[in-house]
């Protein structure tokens, strides 16, 4: 039993599910901006004093959250967010690098709807970190119903986790337009190739894209209305306004902002990312039927 203290920061859907899981083996604290009626809820200062932190706040908020709140005191960090910063195109590990040494940080990835984790249903996840020691330390906190794997491919896991959200939007659009299962499977398969190509450009290990972090999470998210990103796609196919969709959703759909980052990065680095580019354009008003025509043509 690990006697070190651990806290989850961010009490959204994923933060609460991870807190439930990590609280099985030993006491796990949780904190958020507003006080919540959750077991072991503490204020931010108490959470930041813990030895291990699991940070589950939306990707676009991380830089400002770190600047405003974080003081490094040797804590070991597990990042649970999946996204790329839209304003800069920086990956989360690049943002965290200014605040935490690389050997103190890991990224959790893989197929994991919070709604299932919080019920204790089984799943398999990857802890991605350059430090095998850090993996072993975090692994000990996870309950029996979560199988953890080790990978040192931080950038691969990060890109896969972020990119699949954009592809889930595309898949939701496909479903919403009633294009059929053939089209959807083709889109998801080509999406997997696309995100692997993108990842390879930034030094990711190609094999990460066919494992839990890539195909695993993509197949989950791009095939289920449990995914917020998928539901954004369904709404876009019905010609709903993005603002309206996001208000109705009431939770984060990282693929929306991540599509901006991918569009900018692929342009800057000359990477072929046709599906993500069409998602970006649909979000910005292009008719999804025109996008379909352009995807089939090019
Ligand atoms: N929900 C899921 O099944 C999974 C979510 N994730 C990822 O986890 C991250 C969080 O997602 P969810 O918890 O599901 O979203 P959510 O929308 O349910 O909750 C987000 C939480 O972040 C907090 N937050 C927002 N801005 C903040 C700020 N500036 N400072 C502090 N806290 C802030 C909100 O108060 C809220 O509690 C996302 O990157 C998501 O992609 C990853 C795996 C599974
Ligand atoms: O990342 C997730 C599951 O692994 C959750 O996906 P959504 O954010 O689309 O719901």
- The verdict on 15 and 147 lying in the same domain is yes
**Residue 273 forms part of a structural domain:** yes
Residues 178 and 98 in one domain: no
- How many folded domains does the chain comprise? 2
pLDDT band at 11 (very low <50, low <70, confident <90, very high): very high
239/123 Cα distance (integer angstroms): 35
Residues 135 and 265 placed together within one structural domain of the fold? no
Q: Do residues 170 and 230 lie in contact, with contact meaning Cβ atoms separated by under 8 Å?
A: no
Evaluate: CB of 197 within 6 angstroms of ligand 1: no
Atom in ligand 2 nearest the alpha carbon of residue 254: 8
Whether residues 141 and 193 share a domain: the answer is no
Ligand 1 test: best mutation among 252, 258, 259, most atoms within 8 Å of CB? Answer: 252
Instruction: Tell me which residue has tokens 């690098």.
Output: 97
To the question of whether residue 217 is assigned a binding role by annotation, the answer is yes
Domain end marker among 131, 152, 173: 152
Cβ atoms of 167 and 273 within 8 Å: the answer is no
* pLDDT band at residue 98 under the 50/70/90 scheme: very high
Inside any domain, residue 62: yes
pLDDT of residue 3: 73
Q: Whose CA is nearest to atom 8 of ligand 1?
A: 81
Model pLDDT for residues 225-278, shown as the tens digit of each residue: 999 999 999 999 999 999 999 999 999 999 999 999 999 999 999 999 999 999
Distances (CA, A) of 129 to 62, 92, 106, 135, 256: 19, 13, 4, 7, 26
28 lines ligand 1 (CB under 6 A): no
82 lines ligand 1 (CB under 6 A): yes
The enclosing domain of 43 has a CATH number of 3.40.50.720
Instruction: Give, as one character, the DSSP assignment of residue 215.
Output: I
Could you read off the pLDDT of 37-94 as tens digits, one per residue? 999 999 999 999 999 999 999 999 999 999 999 999 999 999 999 999 999 999 999 9
**Residues 6+ away with beta carbon under 8 Å from 272:** 194, 197, 266
| 264 and 206 belong to one structural domain | yes
Distance CA(24)–CA(9), nearest Å, equals 17
Percent of the chain predicted with pLDDT > 70: 99
Q: Whose CA is nearest to atom 28 of ligand 1?
A: 61
User: Dihedral of CA 143/147/150/155: which sign?
Assistant: negative
How confident is the model at residue 297, as a pLDDT? Answer: 85
- Residues 69 and 144 occupy one common structural domain: yes
pLDDT per residue over 182-219, tens digit each?
A: 999 999 999 999 999 999 999 999 999 999 999 999 99
Mean local confidence (pLDDT), 135-163 = 98
Tell which of 104, 119, 152 closes a domain.
152
In a domain, 181, yes or no: yes
Could you give the CA distance from residue 176 to residue 236 in angstroms, rounded to a whole number? 8
Q: In what helix (H) or strand (E) does residue 243 lie, and over which residues does it extend?
A: helix 242-249
Q: Which of 73, 141, 67, 70 is nearest to 108 (CA)?
A: 141
Distance from Cα 168 to the centre of ligand 2, integer Å: 9
Count of CA atoms in the C-beta half-sphere (13 A) of 272: 8
Do 179 and 261 lie in one domain? The reply is yes
Provide the mean pLDDT of the chain: 97
Per the domain annotation, does 183 fall within a domain? yes
Q: What is the pLDDT of residue 159?
A: 98
Residue 1 in any domain: the answer is no
Q: What's the confidence (pLDDT) of residue 1?
A: 45
Residues classed as catalytic: 164
Q: Looking at the domain assignment, is residue 29 inside a domain?
A: yes
Asked if pLDDT for residue 2 goes beyond 80, the answer is: no
Q: d(Cα 196, Cα 194) in Å, to the nearest integer? A: 5
33 labeled binding residue = yes
Instruction: Please check whether residues 22 and 102 belong to one and the same domain.
Output: yes
Is there a single domain that holds both residue 44 and residue 124? yes
Q: What is the phi/psi pair of residue 66, to 5°?
A: -65, -45
3-state secondary structure 119-139: CCCCEEEEEECCCHHHHHHHH
pLDDT confidence bin for 158, thresholds 50/70/90: very high
The parent domain of residue 45 ranges over 6-152
């Amino acid at each position: 039993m690990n006697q070190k203290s651990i806290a989850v920061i961010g009490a959204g859907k994923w933060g609460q599910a991870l807190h439930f899981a990590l609280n099985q083996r030993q006491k796990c604290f949780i904190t958020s901006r507003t006080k919540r009626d959750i077991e072991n809820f503490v204020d931010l200062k108490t959470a930041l004093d813990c030895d291990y932190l699991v940070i589950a706040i939306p990707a676009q908020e991380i830089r400002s959250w770190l600047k405003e709140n974080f003081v490094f005191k040797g804590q070991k960090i597990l990042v649970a967010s999946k996204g790329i910063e839209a304003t800069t195109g920086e990956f989360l590990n690049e943002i965290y690098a200014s605040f935490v040494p690389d050997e103190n940080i890991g990224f959790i990835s893989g197929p994991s709807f919070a709604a299932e984790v919080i019920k204790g249903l089984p799943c398999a996840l990857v802890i991605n970190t350059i430090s095998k020691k850090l993996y072993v330390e975090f692994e000990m906190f996870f309950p029996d119903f979560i199988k953890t794997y080790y990978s040192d491919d931080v950038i691969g896991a990060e890109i896969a986790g972020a990119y699949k959200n954009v592809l889930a939007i595309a898949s939701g659009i496909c479903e919403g337009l009633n294009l059929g299962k053939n089209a959807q499977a083709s889109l998801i398969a080509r999406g997997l190739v696309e995100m692997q190509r993108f990842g390879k450009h930034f030094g990711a290990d190609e094999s990460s894209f066919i494992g839990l972090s890539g195909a695993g999470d993509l197949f989950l998210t791009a095939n289920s209305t449990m995914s917020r990103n998928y539901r954004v796609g369904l709404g876009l196919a019905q010609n709903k306004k993005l603002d309206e969709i996001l208000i109705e959703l009431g939770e984060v759909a990282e693929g929306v902002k991540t599509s901006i980052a991918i569009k900018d990065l692929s342009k800057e680095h000359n990477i072929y990312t046709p599906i993500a580019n069409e998602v970006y354009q649909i979000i910005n008003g292009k008719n999804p039927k025109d996008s379909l025509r352009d995807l089939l043509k090019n």
